[in-house]
Structure 1
Amino acid sequence: MTDRRAYLRKQTIISIVITMAISAGFFLLVFGRTDPIAVWGPDNLALDFLPQSGAASFMAALMPALQTRSAIAKGTLPGTPPSVESIVLRAVMLAVLALALGGGVIGLLTLSGIAVFPWTTAFAIKVAYGALLGLIITPPAVRAVLMRG
């Protein structure tokens, strides 16, 4: 049997790396090599925090929870696997909650008065924000599945 804390830590680290990679990929897709990047239109770096928050958080909750469910079903972890539907619902709820975090970032950008970021700064901010999403979203999603054991 795997120690649950170690398992949770491993899943969280994997999720952080994946959300960073997804955030980097989507940043490149959306913003390309535009330099500098406007916080507000036409680039809308600020508003991009909403879809990033929702999508990255949904994946940061869904995939590790489904992997945990699979490990329980295989007997690698103790417990009773929850339904896929409950995992999906929890992932949706966590993604909706993450939208509030994205709204907070937008509020901070509004209050800051910053109009543009250099490409490297904007890239670093978005990738770091992706890491933050993985760090705060994955643990409650995985814990919910592990608690059934």
Structure 2
Amino acid sequence: MTNADLHIRRETAVSMAINTVLSGVFFLVAFGFVNPVPVWGVGHFVFDFWVQAFAVAFMGTLVPCALSRRALRSGRVASRPSSIRLPANLFLRSVVLALPAAVLSLAIGAVLFRALGVAHIDWNIALAIKLAFGAGLALVITSLALRATLAEAQG
């Protein structure tokens, strides 16, 4: 395994940990300890997938990619080839990944919870879903974004 691959694994793991904690904090801010958590409507559980996905994808791209560019420039990490191409501007790159993540997350959440036919969800289950979702989305988005970043020096 190259140091670039190790860098991607380490930074992705850090992003997953941070986004899991932040997902928990924002869950508490948004829903408090109200049990059960309402599922439908603006500001409720399903709608929050839009907000959470945008925030996780945006920050899971912007910060790790900025740190990785610095590591590339200093020689602490080597570049690696990748077929993933994203905008060079980190703000734009973050938006390009965050918007589709938010739209897809909201759509998938709405379809799943509509299929389940629930109007409320137990607080503990809602929190567990949001924590797992934050970690899982950070895993996918950060890894993808870092692969594109470490390939920049190749092209």
Normalising by structure 2, we get a TM-score of 0.86
Could you tell me how far apart the structure 1 residues matched to 2:53 and 2:78 are? Answer: 32
Return the letter of the residue paired with 1:9.
R
- Among all aligned residue pairs of Structure 1 and Structure 2, give the percentage whose two residues are the same amino acid: 35
The equivalent of 1:95 in structure 2 is 98
Count the aligned residue pairs.
144
Please say if residues 37 and 43 of structure 1, whose CA atoms lie closer than 8 Å, have aligned partners that are also in contact. Answer: no
Picking from 68, 80, 89, the partner of 1:86 is: 89
List gaps (5 residues or longer) in structure 2. 80-86
Residue deviations 1:39-79, cap 9 Å, x none?
11486111111011111110011111011011112221235
The equivalent of 1:21 in structure 2 is 21
Alignment of 1:1-149 (within 5 A): 3-41=3-41, 44-79=44-79, 86-99=89-102, 100-149=104-153
RMSD (Å), alpha carbons: 1.8
Could you tell me how far apart the structure 2 residues matched to 1:126 and 1:3 are? Answer: 32
Please say if residues 19 and 134 of structure 1, whose CA atoms lie closer than 8 Å, have aligned partners that are also in contact. Answer: yes
Deviates more, 1:36-45 or 1:122-131: 36-45
Could you tell me how far apart the structure 1 residues matched to 2:42 and 2:64 are? Answer: 35
List gaps (5 residues or longer) in structure 1. none
**Matched position secondary structure for 1:46:** helix
Which 4+ stretches in 1 moved above 4 angstroms? none
